[in-house]
Amino acid sequence: MQQFPHHYIVVASASGEEQVQLDSPGVQRLESAPPAEFGGPGDRWSPETLLVAAVADCFVLTFKAIARASKLDWDALRCDANGVLDRVDKVTKFTSFSLKVVLDVPEGTDQAKAARLLEKAEHACLITNSMTAVVNLDAQVEVAQ
């Protein structure tokens, strides 16, 4: 890992009625548009869906790093994220994120350890640690059959 601080560069550009183009060095361009809830087409990534995706992605990547460091064997991980956008004191903001996580582990795995590592990943996620919204984790560890 590189020393801190890290810098991440994104350029958002648009003209007229076109979708917003999101560019960052070394990665594929994304197109963004307002979500249907804000009058957009609903068929593109939006800032709202990108933020919820960042929460889910960060959780999974954080868990992978923690599991590797803890030498936990696992087979699959799924994280369904739901972000709630609301108006609070006349300000529109995300008020909470719910993560429904299912971790599949091989037979013989210490399920309590796996559950602790899922909770550790939720607490260590740098994206949710950077926000004021509440994060609720509903995690399950399932043994592969």
Per-residue pLDDT averaged across 89-93, rounded? 95
pLDDT over 90 (residue 124) = yes
Cβ proximity of 133 and 97 under 8 Å: yes
Torsion of CA 58, 61, 66, 67, to 10 degrees: 140
pTM of the model: 0.91
What's the fold here for domain 47-143? GMP Synthetase; Chain A, domain 3 (3.30.300)
Cβ proximity of 47 and 32 under 8 Å: yes
- Band the pLDDT of 145: cuts 50, 70, 90: confident
